[in-house]
Every structure is written in C-alpha cells, then in structure tokens.
Structure 1
Amino acid sequence: MREDLRGFAGYSSARRAAVTGSIWLNANESAWRNPADAGTGANRYPDPQPAELRARLATLYGVRAEQVLVGRGSDEAIDLLVRALCNPGRDAVVVAPPVFGMYAVSARLQGAPLVEVPLRDGAAGFELDLDGLASAAVASGAKLVFVCSPANPTGQAVPPADLLALARRLAGRAIVVVDEAYGEYSEYPSIAAEISAQPNLAVLRTLSKAHALAAARIGCLLADPALVAVLRNCQAPYPLPSPCVQMALAGLSEPALAITRAQVQTVRAERERLRAELAGCPGVRRVYPSQGNYLLVRFDDAEAAFARLLAAGVVVRDMRASPQLGDALRISIGRPEENDAVVAALQAGRAAA
C-alpha cells in the first residue's frame, strides 16, 4: 500500500466500535423512524460490513468471510484499490483495452500512470497478451494489473491457470485483480479459490449482473484479509444501505439462487442463438464469441445499425469510441422476445435495401 497510508486507521464510525446495547445514543441518529419506513430501521446507520451478507457471499464464492470486502458495486472496490495502493504520478495501473472503462477512470482520478497492453484481435476472437501484461507491469513498476474475465466488451475469458501464472510472475510486485463481474456466464470456474495460496491475487464480483440486483449497488472484492483490512480503512463509513442488504440476502437465498441459475442457463442458450442469427443479418461483418451476457458485433455501417435498432426501440451500447472497435456495437442478451426484436430490426435493413 502507499507508504503514507501505512498505519492509517480510517474513520472510526459509531457502528465500527465493538459495543452492544439496547439504547443507542452514540451516533446522533433520530430515535424515531421516518413515516415512510416500512420496517427497515432506516433511522439507524447500517453495519459497514454486514456479517450475514459477508458470510453468504463467502459461501457463494468459495472463500472465507475475512476475505470479503462488500461495497457499492465493483466500482467502489476498483477505486479503493487504486487510491490505497497507487502513489499519484508514480505507481502505475496496467489494463488491456478495449476493456471496462472504470479502471482507467480510477487511475486518472488518482493521478496514477495508466499503462495499456492492447488485446489482440485474432481468428478466434480477442486474446489477452499475458506476457505483455507481465512485462509492462515490471517495466512500469505497476502496483495493479486489471484483467477482466469474461472481458467487457470483447467477451473472451482467461483460463484460471493462466491467471494464476500471471499472479505468480508478479508476486511481490503487483496485485493482479481479476474482474469476474460476468463469471456466472463463463465456462471457466472462478480463480477466487487461489487467493489463500496467492495473496497478490484479488477478485471482483457483483450482484448487478446474473443476480439481477443492479439497482441495489452491491459488489465485493475477494482478497487476502490484510488487503481487505487496508481497503476497509479507506472506505466510506456506511457504504451499504440496509434495504439493499436485506434485498441482497433475500436474493441469495437458496430458492432465489435456483431461479438465478436457471436464468443464467437461459442467457447462455439465447447468447448462442442470437450469435448465430446475427451472423446472418445484413451488414453484420463479425459476431465475436462471448462468455458474458452480451455480444460484440462489427458492422459495415455501425451508425446505421445503431439507428435502425433505436428506431425499433432497442437500445444497445455504441462501442465506436473504444480502441479497435470503430465499427462495433455491444448487444446485451435480453429475454427471447427482446433478442427477436434485435434480429428483426437488423433484418429490416435488408427489406429497406
């Protein structure tokens, strides 16, 4: 971590103190509930790291509770990692574009040098240059290497053995952060089980995607307990609203998880169906294989395709400002009828022609 933060204890909030009681007069809260409060106890500050939720997430991801830091989506964990580890103007962050933009945003806000090792676009799709990442991290003195797997927006995933080899190569130099936001949709297992043996490995997970809780804004970092403790000291005092925690606990119950698993299987099947059908649409140049809940598609005229979709009420992600993707759109996998609407809108271009 940053030298100036060693020994930094952070803000000692009223709920971090290890005290118990029946009359709470230590946080200047209202003793009365808001008239709109339907029983959540929102007049009281929430637990900064709810023990039940940490335990539930630890079980879900196959780690220990002390290896879990819960926060406001994966974005907060990304920001905390960069702020706590990178000295402005000195400690670099390595990324592999085109990729999720928050790594670069957090680096820029912290003044951390950003080192880019571009993905390679090959016959089988985009590929990560693992040797290039390791060499760039060593040469730049990077503290953090972010790997998105499955990658957003390009869709490829990295075998866990390759990720572990990268972390071993950078042991003592940098933390390899594997963003598994779309891990539920991948054919590869999580790398999280390796954290105990490889403490410079960390994993990002979120409830926003497969678990359908995007508005609850709950994600977590799985990491060595020492790193979790460091980041907790840098975290805002009360990151998780109580109603969101209650929703997450309900959404991680066994009945809810059974429904989630079935929906993931539906997405996987629809992803492959949509990929095949898009390949036959007029103006589609290439549909990349994907292990996420989205497809990256190149078009002869991406602007016209975007306009046709929008005219049909279908909103997709325009990727043309991203490096190497000047002709591409990213299409999330929706319900079957929504995916049908995508194909129909693009097929309409043939009729118009």
Structure 2
Amino acid sequence: MSVLELARAEIRALVPYSSARMEAAGGATLLNANESAWMPFGDAGLGCHRYPDPQPAALVERLAALYGVRPAQLLVGRGSDEAIDLLVRAFCRAGEDAILVQPPTFGMYAVCAHVQNAAVVEVPLAADFTLDAGAVLAAVTPAVKLVFVCAPNNPTGAGVSLEAIDDLARRLAGRALLVVDEAYGEFADGASAATLLDRYEHLAVLRTLSKAWALAGARIGCLLADSEVVTLLRRILPPYPLPRPCVAAALEALSPAGQVAVRDRVEVVRAERARMVVGLGALPGVRAVLPSQANFLAVRFDDAGAAYRRLFQAGIVVRDVRRYPGLQDALRITVGAPEENDRVLAVLGDGA
C-alpha cells in the first residue's frame, strides 16, 4: 500500500491555495501579490516588501545536502512544531484517528493531537527510559496513524539506536507512519534515521536549527520524508511560512564557515555534558544523572523543589520536569557554556 493511504482522503483531494510566489516567476515588475513597491525603512537589502518563496530553493538544497536527502524529500517550515502539526492534521481524522507517544516525552505531539481532536495512545518508555518496541507495536490499532519516537528523547535524554528505528519501521509497514524526532540529533552518537528514508516510505524524520545551530529565534525546522508525503503536507502549509530575515539567518548559519563553527560548538557541548555528569553526580543531594545523548541532563534530586529554588534565586532557570511520569524527583538542566555550567555546580554545591 502507498503511505498516502494512511492520510485523510479529504487532504489527498484538497486543491491547495495557490500563492503569488507559486505562479510563473521571472518578471522584473511584480504586480501579482498586492505588495508595496517600496522597501521598508531599515530593510538592509532583505527585500521584505516582497512575499518570500514558500520553500526557498537555496535553503531547501542546503538543508537537503546537510541531512543527506534529496530536495524533494524535504519540507522546511517554522520549527519542528509546524511539521508535527501538519502531520497530525494530514493523517488524523478528528474524533476517529489517533497518534501514539511514549511518555515521558515532548509534549507538542499530544497538544497537536488534542487540537485536532485525535486520540493519544500512551505507551510508557521502559523503566530506564529506552524504547519499548514490543509494547509500542502491541498498542498500534487501525486508528493509530502516527507513531512518534523522540530520539534522543526529551526530557530524559535517552538515545534510540538506528537498529531499533529500523526494526520498528519494518514492523510498522502498512500500519502507521513512524515519525522520528531528531531535534537533538547533532549531539547524539550514531547515524540519523534519515539514512533509512529510501527504504521506508512510511518513515518521517524531524530536524531543527533551533538547538545545535543556535537559531531558536529564527524558527527554522524541517521534515524529511518520502516525496509524496512532502507533497501532501505542502497542500496544507501556509502560503508564506518562512520570513525572509529567518531564511537569510539560516543560510548564513549553514555556510561552510557556519558548519565548521557548529561542529566545534557541538564538541564543546559533548565535552561539557560529560563533565557535568561527573560534577553533578558528585554533589550531595543528587540521586542520579540520567544518561543523555542530547544537550541537556535530567537530574534526580533528594529534593528537586529545593534545588530548583536555589538555582532560581541565583538567577539560573532550569526546567522543572517533575510533572512527567517517572521524573517526579527530577530537573532538566541544559548544558550551557563552561562558565554557566561552573555556576550551576557552584550554586548546587553551596546549597548542599
């Protein structure tokens, strides 16, 4: 079966909105979009008086090269969140279909499902927060159209091996679309699930420039998937999702020099992560530091609330994840610059 048979029939039949930038280009005088003829004050050459290309070719090509896929296999949008929302809207019929998630995990999967009035099937991660493929497969019903796997997982940091993803994708064939969220993939060991895309048309991979690429404020993310899935999602993508300044920032970050800088910073984060595991683990009051393949650490405390308050009073804000199942005693601490990490260790050490 085609992966599109899993999608909503009305989305497959939808005639998408045709924006002015989708029409024939090449004219020197653009009078087809009711734009201003004048650039705004302070435009700095960005051309913001014109609507942007819905899928800027230069950005798509550079991202495709970065992730090792063909441009037709890539959809770029406003962070990974937009791709999650598009997938849920395209594949899940309101009141009928469902997604499957593995708590504790990223909350936007469930939020997008609830907005669509799709059910959320929860299959908890194993006790050590690793993927329980057997339990996932046992919970997949005909109503489940999307299976989300966060790899590395947020908020625990646990990685998922490529072998596990391969096995799960093989066993989900004809049943559901497997969505692997690699928002923290640059910090992890092993190959990306994108290497499996040509093998499985029902596999999608989420990537973002918000983390390793330091572009959280630009909101640039992408979906890697079979070209038919990309074409389907473009039917419901807003006409002009990417602001010109954000595209310019992304292209600059993805330049050869930018890529070298990111690789260097990722190595610093990985080294600092290892140092923080040792440093935090040696502090009184710290029960455990969970293994992490991401740029953060989930840390168990004797009194997580007191640790949070101590850090906050010192001007350090970390993520309180005690509401998540299995993490009732934990805080999530981002691995920052060396001096920021030193400050965390000092504050927690002083309060011990």
Task: Provide Cα deviations, 1:30-74, integer angstroms capped at 9, x if missing partner.
Answer: 000111211100000000000110000000000000000000000
Higher mean C-alpha deviation, range 17-26 or range 286-295 = 17-26
Contact 1:157–1:188 (CA under 8 A) maintained in structure 2: no
Specify the code of the residue in structure 2 equivalent to 1:178. Answer: V
Partner of 2:65: 59
Task: Provide Cα deviations, 1:175-200, integer angstroms capped at 9, x if missing partner.
Answer: 00000000000011101021112100
> What secondary structure does 1:339 align onto?
helix
Query: For 1:292-303, what aligned pairs fall within 5 Å after superposition?
Result: 292-303=294-305
Partner of 2:269: 267
Specify the code of the residue in structure 2 equivalent to 1:19. Answer: A
Partner of 2:4: none
Partner of 1:135: 138
1:238 to 240, 251, 263: 240
Partner of 2:215: 213
Contact 1:10–1:234 (CA under 8 A) maintained in structure 2: yes
Distance 1:265 1:19 in 2: 43
Contact 2:68–2:194 (CA under 8 A) maintained in structure 1: yes
Partner of 1:39: 45
Partner of 1:97: 103
Distance 2:176 2:329 in 1: 34
Distance 2:246 2:269 in 1: 25
Task: Provide Cα deviations, 1:274-329, integer angstroms capped at 9, x if missing partner.
Answer: 01110111211110010000000011111100001111111100001112211110
Task: Provide Cα deviations, 1:211-264, integer angstroms capped at 9, x if missing partner.
Answer: 011101000000000000010110111000011101101100111110100100
Q: Does 1:202 align with 2:208?
A: no
1:78 to 78, 84, 95: 84
Q: Which runs of 5+ in 2 are unaligned?
A: 1-6
> What secondary structure does 2:76 align onto?
strand
Contact 1:195–1:201 (CA under 8 A) maintained in structure 2: yes
Which of structure 1's runs of 4+ aligned residues deviate more than 2 A? none
Contact 2:159–2:188 (CA under 8 A) maintained in structure 1: yes
Distance 1:112 1:223 in 2: 22
Contact 1:95–1:115 (CA under 8 A) maintained in structure 2: yes
Partner of 1:8: 14
Aligned residues: 346
Specify the code of the residue in structure 2 equivalent to 1:236. Answer: P
Percent sequence identity is 58
Shift of 1:141: 2.6
1:115–1:140 CA distance, 2 compared to 1 (3 A):
farther
Q: Which runs of 5+ in 1 are unaligned?
A: none
Contact 1:148–1:178 (CA under 8 A) maintained in structure 2: yes
Task: Provide Cα deviations, 1:151-184, integer angstroms capped at 9, x if missing partner.
Answer: 1111111111210111111111110000000000
1:310 to 303, 312, 320: 312
Shift of 1:17: 1.6
2:333 to 324, 327, 331: 331
User: What is the TM-score with the length of structure 1 in the denominator?
Assistant: 0.97
Distance 1:18 1:110 in 2: 34
Distance 2:348 2:291 in 1: 19
Partner of 1:19: 25
Contact 1:282–1:349 (CA under 8 A) maintained in structure 2: no
Partner of 2:93: 87
Distance 2:193 2:168 in 1: 12
Contact 1:141–1:173 (CA under 8 A) maintained in structure 2: no
Distance 2:195 2:186 in 1: 15
Shift of 1:140: 5.2
Distance 1:28 1:134 in 2: 51
Contact 2:142–2:175 (CA under 8 A) maintained in structure 1: no
Shift of 1:7: 1.7
Partner of 1:169: 171
Partner of 1:29: 35
> What secondary structure does 1:244 align onto?
helix
Kindly report the root-mean-square deviation, in angstroms, between the aligned alpha carbons of the 2 structures: 0.9
1:282 to 261, 278, 284: 284
Partner of 2:260: 258
Partner of 1:48: 54
Contact 2:11–2:235 (CA under 8 A) maintained in structure 1: no
